[in-house]
Structure 1
Amino acid sequence: MLWDTHMHSQFSGDSHTPQEDMIAAARQKNLKGICFTDHLDIDYPDEPETFLLDLPNYVSSVDAMQEKYKEVLPVRLGIELGLQPHLACIHADILSQYPFDFVIGSSHVMHGVDPYYPAYWENHTEEEGYQEYFESILENIAVFDGFDVYGHIDYVVRYGPNKNASYSYQKYADIIDEILKALIIKGKGIEINTGGFKYGLGHPNPTEDIIKRYHELGGEIITIGADAHQPEHVAFDFEKVPSILKEAGFTHYTVFKNRKPEFIPIP
């Protein structure tokens, strides 16, 4: 009976799934509630139209789903912003125009490149690529704090040449701690994103060690999401989530309504 608060639908450039299909999957898996967080990645390299979000129609569609399913499943309105420092003012303006419940800030593009593509790794060693990614997160946090949680903090590891074979929190602890401290100072949370299991990493994004470290440093806000783009990935491997959170020291997880955190006991 958890919430899945990171999911995509046909309004995201990398999904073709109707929202009703995602809702059907959530109901089948007995979720307590969901939040749609479709992509808005302005100034995406090479394909700038790919991750633009039709905001009026997206918001209208979620409104319709909220009304249709209000008796059976809470549906909340979220967005996943692809952060880049030069977009800070644009993002702030967009957020002022729509009644979002929840905003995920994520790093997909750093310094003009998405590490999803092999071209990034042609110019970086694995260690350099991971380090630059973490540095780019700090750059974003320094200029923009309009998000509620930072998404999949070690997203880059999904696409590294050896994925997480030689990656660990300990290897990048100095800069990851900087990220976590900066988020905590600004009252921001992180997510446990089970997409890492889907990508074969054997761990969530971020890893269990990072989740534990966030709590040790005083972080209290943690949301849960599978990063699903298709119905079969809704609540992916959620059975692992309660024990991961409890072992990290959490007694509650977080959902957002009207941009305010609600704390729910971990079952």
Structure 2
Amino acid sequence: MFADYHVHTEFSDDSVYPMEDVVKDAIKMGLEEICVTDHVDYGIKIDWDCGKEIRYRNGEPYANVDYPRYMEEIKRMNQLYGDRILVKPGLEFGVQRHTISQFEVLFQRYPFDFIILSVHQVDDQELWTQDFQRGKTQQEYNERYYEEMLEVVKHFKNYSVLGHMDLITRYDEAGIYPFERVRPIVEEILKTVIADGKGIEVNTSSHRYGLADTTPSVEILKLYRELGGRVITIGSDSHKAAHLGAYIGETMKLLRELGFRQYCTFEKMKPIFHDLQEPL
């Protein structure tokens, strides 16, 4: 199985990659399955049908996914290309503790196969803009990030995997924060994830961002396996053609080296296990 389980299209506010182009490109590169996981970030973005005026950023609407059009387009892709590739409906939930109730409502509205749970903001402050980190010490913003994640996984259960679990490292301008300082809370997060039958993803975007480690780090992947974690997905976090399917084969090899023997795709929120192997 050669699958990419973190794919963005024009339905995300940060991508203009048409879904049909994504599917055609995926077929060309031999992907057997993709899951479309466009962004929903309550707290900082609004829904199209909320009755408020949509703001624009860099000429693109700064809003969550237009859900009815999105689900219809995924359905159309399977009708057109289903004999060559399977296109699964998913979303990437950017959850904060105070937005959990909104995501609970959204999850019940549509038949998703897969949900990535990510922490993109804390207290409605973005990581990538440095708004969250500004005015805090490196210790404060790293610990606060993982504290938020722990609270979310304790109280929100309608997800499949934790996305790019140590995302804060990508935007840490102070350098690498020692893992041992956050290990206790990371371990508590992973124990909660495992107990709930959920998983984590390996996000291959670490390569294109030039990070020194994988996302999540090798230390987190080792800890997850030591704690008994088995549910793991691989996703490119693609926003354009150059990203799609990138480094999936290399990631499979790494996971084997770390002792993992299988990785997952999903159907109706249930993991399907596949042996790790090099793609054809």
How far 1:87 moved relative to its partner?
Answer: 2.0
Contact kept? 1:45, 1:112, Cα under 8 Å: no
TM-score normalised by length of structure 1:
0.94
Give, in whole Å, the separation in 2 of the partners of 1:188 and 1:257. 14
Q: Does 1:82 align with 2:117?
A: no
2:80 is matched with which residue? 68
Contact kept? 1:4, 1:235, Cα under 8 Å: yes
| Structure 2 counterpart SS, 1:121 | coil
For residue 25 of structure 1, what is the amino acid of its counterpart?
D
1:207 is matched with which residue? 217
Give, in whole Å, the separation in 1 of the partners of 2:78 and 2:213. 32
Please, which of 124, 129, 138 is the counterpart of residue 112 of structure 1? 124
Structural mapping, 1:221-260, within 5 Å: 221-260=231-270
How far 1:45 moved relative to its partner?
Answer: 7.0
How far 1:200 moved relative to its partner?
Answer: 0.8
What CA deviation, in whole Å up to 9, does each residue of 1:3-54 have, x standing for no partner?
Answer: 1010100000000110112112212221121010011111117979724111
1:218 is matched with which residue? 228
Contact kept? 2:122, 2:132, Cα under 8 Å: no
TM-score normalised by length of structure 2:
0.90
How far 1:171 moved relative to its partner?
Answer: 3.7
Contact kept? 1:192, 1:204, Cα under 8 Å: yes
How far 1:188 moved relative to its partner?
Answer: 0.8
What CA deviation, in whole Å up to 9, does each residue of 1:49-100 have, x standing for no partner?
Answer: 7241110000001110111111111111111111011222221221111011
Please, which of 176, 179, 182 is the counterpart of residue 169 of structure 1? 179
How far 1:209 moved relative to its partner?
Answer: 1.6
Contact kept? 1:6, 1:226, Cα under 8 Å: yes
Contact kept? 2:231, 2:263, Cα under 8 Å: yes
Give, in whole Å, the separation in 2 of the partners of 1:142 and 1:196. 27
Contact kept? 1:79, 1:104, Cα under 8 Å: yes
Change (3 A) 1:29 1:192: same
Give, in whole Å, the separation in 2 of the partners of 1:36 and 1:191. 14
What CA deviation, in whole Å up to 9, does each residue of 1:93-152 have, x standing for no partner?
Answer: 211110111011110111221111133332122232211111110011121111111111
Instruction: Report how many aligned residue pairs link the two structures.
Output: 265
| Structure 1 unaligned residues grouped into runs of 5+ | none
Identity in percent: 35
Structural mapping, 1:1-267, within 5 Å: 1-44=1-44, 50-162=62-174, 165-267=175-277
Contact kept? 1:121, 1:161, Cα under 8 Å: no
Contact kept? 1:208, 1:244, Cα under 8 Å: no
| Structure 1 counterpart SS, 2:109 | coil
Give, in whole Å, the separation in 1 of the partners of 2:29 and 2:178. 32
Contact kept? 2:121, 2:132, Cα under 8 Å: no
| Structure 2 unaligned residues grouped into runs of 5+ | 47-54
Contact kept? 1:198, 1:236, Cα under 8 Å: no
Contact kept? 1:169, 1:176, Cα under 8 Å: no
Give, in whole Å, the separation in 2 of the partners of 1:137 and 1:244. 26
For residue 125 of structure 2, what is the amino acid of its counterpart?
V
